């Protein structure tokens, strides 16, 4: 049998994945596991999903041949412009899908976790769209650091609840969200923001994000007369934009998949988020994956200049893509990413999110052939990062 990089019936990718949940959530998890594909495959669901992606999100996102960037790196470099989506990143693809699913499951309330606030904003947005009550859990420290996104969520009608436990950041917000869910699992749907968590979340989120590679196929066919690029490059925090950009190419082994993690101040600096290199097998938020942890299993606080990449784990599919060698995992430091981000501004007139700048930084780490077709998934725009760019470059 051919090796599959997709989830199996038990919710595993190789040895990674699964569903390790508190007993109180078990019945709900079962319902979600048994119904998500059925609901997603209904023609009326597909129709509503794709119509919102088109008219609300603004899809398809362009596939843009970046001429000056191509010249610089000696290959044909295309940018998949997720930065042009409504709310400025790929995250809205997933939240639109999940809000439609929540409605069909008869849910009354939505909860979400957020780190930098990007997923919180994308969730608050679709809750406004659907007229659903929305509570976003956010680390108390992140609330201080990300004031504009907190304001956005409030304007969109969401309640923002500070997570006061632990390091008061993303993983603590996730723990709070799970606690809140346990208090009312029948009425609440939890919109997770990446390909992490217990089965079916990693597969469900990857499927909603797979619209990225679905579009890439026909866009490349139009422009290059082939559906397959030589390489696809995407940054990985939890891994949802990469999962979406890789999805329809997983079984096309001739397409090189490159995942770029954030190595912060350097892989060995103690201030990094390069999970695949530094991580060991462990369980976080309901799934078995690669996880940055101490000898006795305490989670190590990740660091990156980019708030969207500092998750201590990666989704279970990425752990498997790493371990099986199907995807090549590179990493970029803060400095490399910031330089690559500024380079895109100067060469192409596009200000990227700092997360996406990590993917761009991988261009200088590879040797391409002149005719190679390389797609960089530009996961988001840089408006939210202006403060960081200003401080870093003393602008």
Ligand X SMILES: *Cc1c(COP(=O)(O)O)cnc(C)c1O
Residue with the closest Cβ to ligand X?
380
Sheet of strand 188-190, all strands in order from the earlier edge strand to the far edge:
159-163, 133-139, 109-114, 188-190
Question: What DSSP designation does 24 have?
Answer: G
Report the alpha-carbon distance of residue 237 to residue 47 in Å, rounded: 30
Give the CB-side neighbour count of residue 229, counting CA atoms within 13 A.
Answer: 34
**Among 97, 302, 308, 316, contact with ligand X (rule: CB under 6 A):** 308
Nearer to ligand X, 286 or 308 (CB): 308
37 CB-near residues (< 8 Å, 6+ apart): 200
Judged by CB under 6 A, the stretch of 37-45, 129-137, 239-247, 279-287 that binds ligand X is: 239-247
Residue 25 binds ligand X (CB under 6 A): no
Interface of this chain with ligand X, residues 339 to 358, rule: CB under 6 A: 353, 355-356
Judged by CB under 6 A, the stretch of 32-40, 150-158, 236-244, 363-371 that binds ligand X is: 236-244
Residue 236 binds ligand X (CB under 6 A): yes
**Among 117, 197, 237, 279, contact with ligand X (rule: CB under 6 A):** 237
Residue 264 binds ligand X (CB under 6 A): no
Report the alpha-carbon distance of residue 331 to residue 365 in Å, rounded: 9
- Which stretch of DSSP H or E encloses residue 141? helix 140-145
Residue 287 binds ligand X (CB under 6 A): no
Residue 258 binds ligand X (CB under 6 A): no
Contacts 24+ apart (CB under 8 A), 125-128: 125/86, 125/87, 125/92, 125/95, 125/156, 126/92, 126/95, 126/96, 126/98, 126/99, 127/99, 127/156, 127/157, 127/158, 128/156, 128/157
Residue 91 binds ligand X (CB under 6 A): yes
Residue 235 binds ligand X (CB under 6 A): yes
Q: Rounded to an integer, what is the distance from CA 16 to the centroid of its chain?
A: 18
Interface of this chain with ligand X, residues 61 to 80, rule: CB under 6 A: none
Nearer to ligand X, 116 or 127 (CB): 116
Nearer to ligand X, 102 or 235 (CB): 235
Report the alpha-carbon distance of residue 216 to residue 227 in Å, rounded: 8
Interface of this chain with ligand X, residues 360 to 379, rule: CB under 6 A: 379
For the bound state, the minimum distance from the C-beta of residue 24 to ligand X, rounded and expressed in Å, comes to: 27
Strand-pairing partners, residue 118, are: none
Residue 312 binds ligand X (CB under 6 A): no
Judged by CB under 6 A, the stretch of 8-16, 179-187, 232-240, 287-295 that binds ligand X is: 232-240
Alpha-carbon torsion, ordered 192, 284, 377, 362, to 10 deg: 160
For the bound state, the minimum distance from the C-beta of residue 225 to ligand X, rounded and expressed in Å, comes to: 30
From its phi and psi, is residue 100 left (phi > 0), alpha (psi between -120 and 50) or beta? alpha
Residue 239 binds ligand X (CB under 6 A): yes
Residue 92 binds ligand X (CB under 6 A): no
Supply the residues annotated as catalytic: 91, 113, 379
Cis peptide before 200 (omega within 30 of 0): yes
Take residue 283 and report the two structure tokens written for it.
Answer: 């369980």
Nearer to ligand X, 28 or 89 (CB): 89
Report the alpha-carbon distance of residue 167 to residue 209 in Å, rounded: 30
Residue 197 binds ligand X (CB under 6 A): no
Report the alpha-carbon distance of residue 354 to residue 110 in Å, rounded: 28
Interface of this chain with ligand X, residues 94 to 153, rule: CB under 6 A: 118
**Among 28, 135, 149, 194, contact with ligand X (rule: CB under 6 A):** 194
Nearer to ligand X, 118 or 135 (CB): 118
Nearer to ligand X, 89 or 102 (CB): 89
Residue 89 binds ligand X (CB under 6 A): yes
Q: Contact positions toward ligand X, by CB under 6 A? A: 89, 91, 118, 194, 235-241, 308-309, 353, 355-356, 379-380
């Amino acid at each position: 049998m051919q090796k599959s990089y997709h989830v199996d019936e038990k919710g595993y990718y190789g040895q990674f994945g699964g569903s390790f949940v508190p007993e109180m959530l078990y019945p709900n998890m079962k319902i979600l596991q048994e119904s998500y594909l059925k609901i997603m495959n209904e023609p009326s669901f597909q129709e509503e999903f794709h119509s919102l992606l088109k008219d609300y999100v603004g899809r398809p996102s362009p596939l843009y041949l970046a001429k000056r960037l191509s010249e610089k790196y000696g290959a044909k470099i295309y940018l998949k412009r997720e930065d042009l989506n409504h709310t400025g990143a790929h995250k809205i693809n997933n939240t639109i899908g999940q809000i439609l699913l929540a409605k069909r499951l008869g849910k009354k309330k939505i909860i979400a976790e957020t780190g930098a606030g990007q997923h919180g904003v994308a969730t608050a947005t679709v809750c406004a769209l659907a007229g659903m009550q929305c509570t976003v859990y956010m680390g108390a420290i992140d609330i201080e650091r990300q004031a504009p996104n907190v304001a956005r969520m409030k304007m969109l009608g969401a309640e923002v609840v500070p997570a006061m436990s632990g390091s008061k950041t993303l993983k603590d917000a996730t723990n709070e969200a799970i606690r809140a869910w346990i208090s009312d699992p029948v009425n609440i749907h939890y919109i997770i923001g990446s390909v992490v968590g217990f089965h079916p979340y990693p597969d469900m989120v990857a499927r909603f994000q797979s619209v990225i590679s679905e579009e890439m196929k026909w866009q490349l066919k139009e422009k290059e007369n082939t559906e397959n690029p030589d390489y696809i490059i995407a940054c990985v925090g939890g891994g949802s934009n990469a999962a979406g950009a890789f999805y329809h190419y997983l079984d096309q082994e001739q397409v090189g998949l490159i995942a770029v993690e954030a190595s912060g101040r350097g892989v060995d600096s103690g201030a990094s988020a390069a999970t695949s290199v530094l991580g060991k097998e462990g369980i976080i938020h309901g799934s078995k994956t690669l996880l940055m942890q101490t000898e006795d299993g305490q989670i190590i606080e990740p660091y990156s200049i980019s708030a969207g990449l500092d998750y201590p784990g990666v989704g279970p599919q990425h752990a498997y893509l790493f371990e099986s060698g199907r995807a090549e995992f590179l990493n970029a430091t803060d400095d490399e990413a910031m330089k690559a981000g500024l380079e895109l501004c100067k060469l192409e007139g596009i200000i990227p999110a700092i997360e996406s700048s990590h993917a761009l930084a991988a261009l200088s780490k590879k040797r391409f052939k002149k005719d190679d077709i390389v797609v960089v998934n530009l996961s988001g725009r840089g408006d939210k990062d202006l403060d960081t760019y200003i401080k870093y470059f003393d602008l």
